[in-house]
Structure formats: structure tokens, C-alpha cells
């Protein structure tokens, strides 16, 4: 398991991040002065009640959405100060995404889906590298299959291989097990855990499931757009207990 220390330089640091959406009766605050860091080479889970701002937080941390105020530092790049062109480069070259619905391209086979980020980056696609990425997720023998010919868990593993092949500084996963049954979800989490432990990568994921969050090194709890708690080296029971405090 990764070492967690407060002096460890975070992969992404949010400082005083606030965000509102426009509602019928004026702005609706979704994130309120959020300050936190996501440690390098660790798996951090973000949890909280529905509507507490988890996806918005993830999107702001990943440069997919812009806060109204505050700083989001990816290394020493402030994403809030970036223009659209710079943000496109950050999304393409420095961060990776894993989504609940896998988001694979249906007309491409697993190999071509994994090769896609390198093609988009204009990099040379080496067959060995793509096959190695597929091997890492246990799917080298399924390289020629299209998404519709793969199970949900296999599709999510292809999506993880596609993310890793571009070697992002940080991987953001929004409910990566949300569409999977419990046992398939466990396999996907073991894979993400290995990505952190063996490949020394940084992963930040949103989840509703205490058993999934228990795979993380740290859990950050959000409620009404504020960070209200943190648990290091969590167990499923401790997570469920904390959650019940805000979900009552």
C-alpha cells in the first residue's frame, strides 16, 4: 500500500475552489471553498451524498470544468488560469479518464480503442506497446474484439488500458465500478489498485460504494459542496459509518 504523508507533494492541489451553477432563482453553489490535495502515487476516493458535488469536484480537478474562484494546480500548472487551447492539451497529454459507461468507440476493436489516445497525441503507435497495455489488464487475447463483443468488466479494463497507454500524470475515474456487478467491480478495483502500487500512478475516483472506497489509500468526504471529512487507510465499515453521519 502507498505511503501517505502530508508533506508528499500532491499530484493535484485545489485551493479555495468554488463553483456555482445558474438556477432559476439565481446561482446555486455546488463547491464552496474546497481546498485539498490528491497525493501522488496514491488512490483517493471521493464520497458523499448524491448532489454533494463529487463529479463537479473531479471535473474541476481534471480541467474538464472551470471553477468560479480558486486555484487548481496540476504540478505547477494552474488549470483555472489556462485558456481553452491549453486545457485541451492538458486533457490530451497529462490527465486520463475512466467513466462509468466505459466510453469506448463501438466501431473500433480493443486494440484500436487503446491506440486512440496515442493517435490523437500524434505519437507513433507501436504494436508492442498497445499489446503490453492490453496484457496489463489481462486482455491480450481479446485485442480484435469490439466493445459489443466484450463483457462490461472487460470493456472497463480496455478503457483503463486506453487511459494508461498515454501515461497520464493522474487518472480520474468517475464511478468506475458503477455499471458492474460486485464481483466484476472487485476485479476492476484490483486492477486500479495495481496501477497505483505496481505502476506508481495516481488515481482519484468517485464512488458511492464503501467496499470500493475501502480499496483506496484515502477517502475524502463531501457534503453540500464542502470537504467534511477524511479517512486514511479506510475499511468499508468505517466508510459506511462516516457516510451515515451526512446521509441521515
Ligand X SMILES: Nc1ncnc2c1ncn2[C@@H]1O[C@H](COP(=O)(O)OP(=O)(O)OP(=O)(O)O)[C@@H](O)[C@H]1O
Q: 48 or 168, CB closer to ligand X? A: 48
Size of the site for ligand X (CB under 6 A): 10
Residue 21 touching ligand X (CB under 6 A): yes
Q: Does 210 participate in binding ligand X (rule CB under 6 A)?
A: no
Residue 59 or 202 having the CB closest to ligand X: 59
Q: How far is the CB of 101 from ligand X (least distance, A)?
A: 13
Instruction: Note whether 194 binds ligand X by CB under 6 A.
Output: no
Count other C-beta atoms under 10 Å from residue 151's C-beta. 12
- What is the Cα–Cα distance from 228 to 49, expressed in whole angstroms? 12
Instruction: Confirm or reject binding of residue 48 to ligand X (CB under 6 A).
Output: yes
Where b means 16+ CB within 10 Å and e means fewer, 183-217 reads ebbbbbbebbbebbeeeebbbbbbbebbbbbbbbb
Out of 54, 142, 157, 218, the residue judged to bind ligand X by CB under 6 A: 54
Torsion of the alpha carbons at 17, 209, 75 and 96, rounded to the nearest 10: -120
Q: Quick one: which segment of 32-40, 51-59, 73-81, 240-248 binds ligand X (CB under 6 A)?
A: 51-59
Among candidate residues 211, 150, 148, the one with its CA nearest the CA of residue 178: 211
Q: Closest Cα to residue 145, out of 177, 104, 178?
A: 104
Residue 56 sits in the site that holds ligand X (CB under 6 A): yes
Which one among 24, 26, 50, 85 touches ligand X, defined by CB under 6 A? 50
Provide, rounded to whole angstroms, the least separation between the CB of residue 48 and ligand X.
6
Given a contact cutoff of 8 angstroms between Cβ atoms, the answer to whether 153 and 179 are in contact is no
Stretch that binds ligand X, among 45-53, 68-76, 135-143, 211-219 (CB under 6 A): 45-53
Please identify which residue in 18, 55, 100, 187 interacts with ligand X, judged by CB under 6 A.
Answer: 55
SS3 26: strand
Nearer residue to ligand X within complex by CB, 56 or 163: 56
Q: Can residue 27 be called a binding residue for ligand X (CB under 6 A)?
A: no
Q: Which residues of 9-23 are buried (b: 16+ CB within 10 A; e: fewer)?
A: ebbbbbbebbbbeee
Does 51 sit near ligand X (CB under 6 A)? yes
Residues within the interface to ligand X (CB under 6 A):
21, 30, 48, 50-56
Amino acid at each position: 500500500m502507498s505511503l501517505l504523508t502530508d508533506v508528499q507533494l500532491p499530484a493535484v492541489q485545489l485551493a479555495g475552489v468554488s463553483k456555482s451553477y445558474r438556477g432559476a432563482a439565481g446561482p446555486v453553489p455546488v463547491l464552496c471553498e474546497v481546498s485539498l490535495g490528491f497525493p501522488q502515487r496514491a488512490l483517493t476516493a471521493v464520497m458523499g451524498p448524491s448532489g454533494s458535488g463529487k463529479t463537479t469536484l473531479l471535473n474541476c480537478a481534471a480541467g474538464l470544468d472551470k471553477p468560479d474562484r480558486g486555484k487548481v494546480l496540476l504540478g505547477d500548472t494552474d488549470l483555472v488560469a489556462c485558456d481553452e487551447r491549453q486545457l485541451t492539451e492538458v486533457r490530451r497529454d497529462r490527465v486520463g479518464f475512466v467513466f462509468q459507461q466505459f466510453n469506448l468507440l463501438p466501431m473500433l476493436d480493443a486494440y484500436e480503442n487503446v491506440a486512440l489516445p496515442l493517435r490523437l497525441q500524434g505519437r507513433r503507435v507501436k504494436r508492442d506497446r498497445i499489446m503490453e497495455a492490453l496484457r496489463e489488464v489481462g486482455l491480450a487475447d481479446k485485442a480484435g474484439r469490439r466493445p459489443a463483443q466484450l463483457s462490461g468488466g472487460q470493456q472497463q479494463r480496455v478503457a483503463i488500458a486506453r487511459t494508461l497507454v498515454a501515461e497520464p500524470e493522474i487518472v480520474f475515474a468517475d464511478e468506475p465500478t458503477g455499471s458492474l456487478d460486485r464481483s466484476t467491480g472487485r476485479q476492476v478495483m484490483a486492477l486500479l489498485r495495481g496501477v497505483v502500487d505496481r505502476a506508481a500512478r495516481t488515481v482519484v475516483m468517485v464512488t458511492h460504494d464503501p467496499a470500493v472506497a475501502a480499496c483506496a489509500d484515502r477517502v475524502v468526504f463531501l457534503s453540500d459542496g464542502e470537504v467534511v471529512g477524511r479517512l486514511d487507510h479506510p475499511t468499508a465499515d468505517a466508510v459506511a459509518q462516516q457516510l451515515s453521519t451526512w446521509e441521515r
